[in-house]
A and B are shown apart, each in its own frame.
Chain A
Amino acid sequence: MREITFVEAVNEALHEEMARDERVYIFGEDVRVGYGKGGPFGATNGLATRFGPERVIDTPISESAIAGTSVGAALWGMRPVAEIMFSDFLALAMDHIVNSAAKMRYAYAGEATVPVVFRMACGAGVGAALHHSQSPEAWITNVPGLKVVMPSTPADAKGLLKSAIRDDNPVVFFEHKFLYSRLREPVPEGEHLIPLGKADVKRSGEDLTIIAYGAMLQQAMRAADLLNQEGVKVEVLDPRTLVPLDRETILQSVKKTGKVIIVHEAPTFGGFGGEIAALIAEEAFYSLDAPIKRVGAPFTPVPASPILEKFYLPNAEKIVKAAKEIME
């Protein structure tokens, strides 16, 4: 199978869905030209040339209106793919994602659909500091009415984005910017759909489950390799969709291994890993033979200086350390 990068996979999904359904359109800052490649990362590359400026709309820098306008258009027959350039700016778009998109179907007693996707680049590792590096998934996983997706591989990014665009619910779709051009993997050409709400076991093992998503999947896989050298057979599980969460696959894995580490790049405290840990404690407590471990960032903003950012970020070594604590 041919290999493409994470951002090329995102771009391919957008091309295919726009070709498939003329109601799909792109709405965001700098999406048409960007710096000659479609946005700062090239996610919307070539779309304006192919589909025209009417369907690839450069907005003013107005995140609140990007979100609210998308909700309005989605209510009345369109299928917007809105782009919030950096997920840190989710904070500016939050009102319409949380108070409009998430609640309309409920408020209108099931009469309305809001088929909108809010794509955004998240994550650290590129020295972009406090306002361009956050992993804010836990800000919105507590909002009923939204689906929340965070793919970890190019193939998943393509398959999940295509499904998200076809979904009749509002979907918040996080793309980790560190992976965009750095991760190149096989991706199926043409129709490739991955259902929302379905986790994926990326590696099978019997001794320990590591649950990781976003850029942390790569670190979890590396940790699994390191632990394997010491005879620990690790199962690596990627939830892929955080809401709805694939509880069954998680519980199945933990019941098999009896040990679990949950990894994400956001601060551990108040992070989504706490929800996964609670699920396991409630539903699989008697299968556990060690405490649940979480590996995440410390409870601080993402600092700029490379030495500080490196300290901040979870990585394979920190996962291995946590593993050794519970494998004894």
Chain B
Amino acid sequence: MQLNNEFMIQLYRTMLMIRRFEEKALDLKARQIIPGLLHLYIGEEAVATGMCAALRRDDYISSTHRGHGHCIAKGGDISLMMAELLGREKGYCRGKGGSMHIADIDLGILGANGVVAAGMPISGGAALSIKMRGKDQVVACFFGDGGSNQGAFHESLNMAALWKLPVIYVCENNQYAISVAQSRSCSIRDIYLRKDAYEIEGCMVDGNDVLAVYQAAKETVDRARRGEGPTLIECKTYRWRGHYEGEADRTYTYRTKQEIEEWIDRCPIKRFQKVLLDQGVVSQVGLNQIEQEIQSDLQKAMEFAQNCPFPEPQDALKDLYYEE
């Protein structure tokens, strides 16, 4: 697949922005500046980046409770995201949702979700709407290995297959459902093989290889746009951090330090950096430049969020029902 340099650099930039945004969030959480629950995507950036790079602005995505990466990759505004994480008035949800509920309807981001696999039927509905309205948009539905064991997985895939809905089901297999290893929660090793139960297309890709993800995404998005129905893509990757920040697993009770370190060695960003340098797409100076730009954008987002006031207490009562 021939990709132009500008596109490749944009992939890199997106992955690095997700990483730096989350490292910042991690730091703020550790200092108790971010309230509530925070589930980080560090190590899985190539999946959201590769997938969303194959989407148009008017396509939809549904997300999980580990959703910052999806939101950034689909073009979400990091200032509004950071303001939401800090519970501020101008955050994406006006401070009502926090990390697990960030959405941007204009960008087709149907929302992070605190309920595992809840995005699956919602994606099917968005796709049904596309079909009924006669549009050529598609939906990318992100979920995890854990989510693949919910009843909603089966119900959604069956319906989407039956009605040839334009959904790409993207299983981010980060190998742990909370603290339970995939081998202890799934009856099969390769989740994409469940495609056969619905007679749909599917494939498995290295989820730490952004180009591999992009290639699979491009093919399946094109198929969906042509009206050829849903696809199940499984991206094998790994969650570097705990299930949530604050997880007390300091003694490696459910996975080993060695396992985590092995996956950190397979960092999707470092790996892509090497590809870019080896192919002469960008120089080390260029990479440094990107890093600086991202740091500067992030700094601006932080300033925006921290200067943004908290909501008024009574704002808790707003926006429950549609009113003329």
Contacts of A307 in B (CB 8 A): 87, 95, 310-311, 313
Q: Mark B133-147, 1 if CB is under 8 A from A, else 0.
A: 000000000000011
From B97-105, B163-171, B210-218, B291-299, the one touching the partner chain is: B97-105
Q: Do A310 and B320 touch across chains, with their CB atoms under 8 A apart?
A: no
Nearest 3 interchain pairs by C-beta:
A131-B114, A305-B87, A304-B98
Distance between Cα atoms of A32 and B97 in the complex (Å): 30
Q: Is the CB of A127 within 8 A of B114?
A: no
Q: Shortest CB–CB separation between residue A69 and chain B, in angstroms?
A: 12
Chain B contacts for A91, CB-based, 8 A = 115
Give every chain A residue within 8 A of B131 (Cβ-Cβ): none
- When distances are taken between beta carbons in the complex, the residues of chain B under 8 Å from A59 are 185
Alpha-carbon gap, A300 to B95, bound state (A): 14
Interface residues of B in 301-324 (CB under 8 A from A): 310-311, 313-317, 320
Given A34-B179, A36-B251, A61-B149, the answer on whether A127 and B36 have CB atoms closer than 8 Å is: yes
Task: Check if A36 sits within 8 Å of B96, measured CB to CB.
Answer: no
CB <8 Å contact, B114 and A60: no
Once A35-B247, A304-B101, A307-B311 are accepted as A-B contacts, the answer to whether A131 and B180 lie under 8 Å apart by CB is no
Question: With the chains together, A308 CA to B95 CA distance in Å?
Answer: 8
B254 touching A127, Cβ below 8 Å: no
Residues on the A chain within 8 Å of B113, using CB: 131
**Which B residues have a C-beta under 8 Å from some C-beta of A?**
35-37, 87-88, 91, 93, 95-98, 100-101, 113-117, 146-147, 149-151, 177-180, 184-186, 242-243, 247-251, 253-254, 310-311, 313-317, 320
Contact assessment for B316 and A298 in the assembled complex, using a CB-CB cutoff below 8 Å: yes
Which residues of B lie under 8 Å from residue A178 when comparing CB positions? none
Give Cα distance in the complex from A116 to B151, angstroms. Answer: 22
Cβ contact within 8 Å between A37 and B248: yes
In the bound assembly, the distance between CA atoms of A312 and B101 in angstroms comes to 18
> A36 touching B149 by the CB < 8 A rule?
no
> Is A285 close to B, CB under 8 A?
no
Residue of B nearest to A29 (CB): B178
With A35-B243, A35-B248: A300-B316 Cβ-Cβ less than 8 Å: yes
A60 with B149: in contact, given A128-B36, A303-B95, A304-B98 (CB under 8 Å)?
Answer: yes
A58 to B192 CA separation, bound complex (whole angstroms): 23
Tell me, yes or no, whether A311 is within 8 Å of chain B by CB: yes
Closest A residue to B318 by CB, please name it. A300
CA distance A40 to B179 in the complex (A): 10
Contact residue among A36, A88, A311 (Cβ-Cβ distance under 8 Å from B314):
A311
CB distance from B215 to the nearest CB of A (A): 30
B310 engages A130 (CB within 8 Å): no
Q: Which residues does A use to contact B, with CB under 8 Å? A: 29-30, 32-37, 40, 58-65, 88-89, 91-92, 126-132, 298-301, 303-312
Q: Which label, helix, strand, loop or mixed, suits the secondary structure of the B interface?
A: loop
Is B100's CB under 8 angstroms from A60's CB?
no
Q: Which residues of chain A have C-beta atoms less than 8 A from B184's C-beta?
A: 58
With A29-B177, A35-B254 known, 4 other A-B pairs at CB within 8 A are A32-B180, A61-B147, A92-B151, A308-B316
Of A65, A299, A301, A305, which is within 8 A of B95 by CB? A305
Are the C-beta atoms of B242 and A312 separated by less than 8 Å?
no
A307 to B309, CA, bound (A): 11
Rounded to whole angstroms, the CA-CA distance of A60 and B250 in the bound complex is 23
Asked if B114 and A61 sit within 8 Å, CB to CB, the answer is no
Give the contacting residue for B310; candidates A29, A40, A305; CB below 8 A: A305
- Say yes or no: A129 contacts B98, CB within 8 Å: yes
Residue pair B178, A30 in contact (C-beta under 8 Å): yes
Closest beta carbon of chain A to B118's beta carbon, Å: 8
Q: How far is the CA of A29 from the CA of B320 in the complex (A)?
A: 32
13 A-B pairs with C-beta separation under 8 A: A29-B180, A34-B178, A36-B248, A36-B249, A64-B150, A129-B37, A129-B101, A131-B114, A298-B317, A305-B95, A307-B95, A308-B311, A308-B316
CB nearest neighbor in B for A30: B178
Cross-chain contact A33 with B253 (CB below 8 angstroms): yes
Known A-B contacts A58-B184, A305-B87; A131 and B254 likewise in contact (beta carbons under 8 Å): no
CB distance from B154 to the nearest CB of A (A): 11
B317 to chain A, nearest CB (A): 6
Q: Which of A32, A58, A60, A64 has the most CB of B within 10 A?
A: A60
With both chains docked as a complex, state the minimum distance between the C-beta of B110 and any C-beta of chain A, in angstroms: 15
* B35 & A306 in contact (Cβ 8 Å cutoff): yes
Which chain A residues lie closer than 8 Å to B95 at the CB level? Answer: 303-305, 307-308
Chain A residues whose C-beta falls within 8 Å of the C-beta of B311 in the assembled complex: 305, 307-308
- If A35-B247, A132-B37, A308-B96 touch, whether A62 touches B149 (CB-CB below 8 Å) is yes
Q: Is the CB of A92 within 8 A of B180?
A: no
Min Cβ gap B151→A in Å is 5
Q: How far is the CB of B323 from chain A (nearest CB, A)?
A: 14
A303 touching B186, Cβ below 8 Å: no
